[in-house]
Amino acid sequence: MSEKRPERRACPGEPLIRATDLTRILPGTVPVTLVHDIDLAIGEREFVAITGPSGSGKSSLLYLLGLLDLPTRGDVSIAGRSTTEMDDVERANVRLSTLGFVFQFHFLLPEFTALGNVMLPMKALRRTSEDLMRERAGSLLASLGLTDHASKRPDQLSGGQRQRVAVARALANDPPLILADEPTGSLDSKSSEQVFEILRELVSRDGKTVVAVTHDLGLSERMDRRIQLEDGRIVADNAHH
């Protein structure tokens, strides 16, 4: 097993996450290229939308950036550390300590309460006591207006509430980078707006970087930067002012 390296944040001027020549090809009789030769750098406190038509490689790119999938070639560096040569244990530690994930479907475990679900990433990282985990989980739920729902299980919550619990879970280990895959895709318009504003505040108030795949052009136009994909390639990278 490789020696555990200390976590570090990006240095000033250094991208928080960088993709270099990033390519993902599904092998088979007819290989399918999901992501093709992508070079990309995202800094601290950015609010980034990844857009494009269905099948353009949006989620595939996000999963590569989040170390949930491995590239066929190329590299992803996080806070200045290349992840290419990391073993599974190192990658898992980087995911737990540096990355937070929010998906279209909340993926909350049904047997745990909202509080218990938020505690799970902290228990996996094992950096603090049970009491402190519980305290932080409660604080995160309170910050998202969910204090009265902490003891409820997912099936007792609305869709918007479940997604807010998922955001709290993503923040459990205080990661600098939040990756979201269609985080408002399964919500009604009111809940969608609430989750969007939460993500915006994570950037403006808490100094996080948020990278979100979205098909909602109305939402992407309100984000600071929009990266558009077609056929697994970046065709536009625009900053909004």
CATH number of the domain residue 179 falls in: 3.40.50.300
Distance CA(224)–CA(239), nearest Å, equals 6
Domain presence at residue 21: yes
Q: How many domains does the chain have?
A: 1
Domain presence at residue 143: yes
Domain presence at residue 97: yes
Domain presence at residue 181: yes
Distance CA(147)–CA(141), nearest Å, equals 6
Radius of gyration, alpha carbons of the chain? 18
Domain presence at residue 114: yes
Cα–Cα nearest to 224, from 210, 213, 207, 214: 210
Domain residues for the domain of 32 are 17-239
Of residues 228 and 2, more confidently modeled: 228
| Residue 196, phi then psi, degrees to nearest 5 | -60, -45
Domain presence at residue 9: no
Cβ 66 vs Cβ 19: under 8 Å? no
Domain presence at residue 8: no
Query: What average pLDDT score do residues 62-76 get?
Result: 94
Query: What average pLDDT score do residues 186-212 get?
Result: 88
Q: Whole-model pTM?
A: 0.87
Domain presence at residue 182: yes
User: Tell me, what's the pLDDT at 6?
Assistant: 40
pLDDT tens for 89-143 read 999 999 999 999 998 777 899 999 999 999 999 999 888 899 999 999 999 999 8
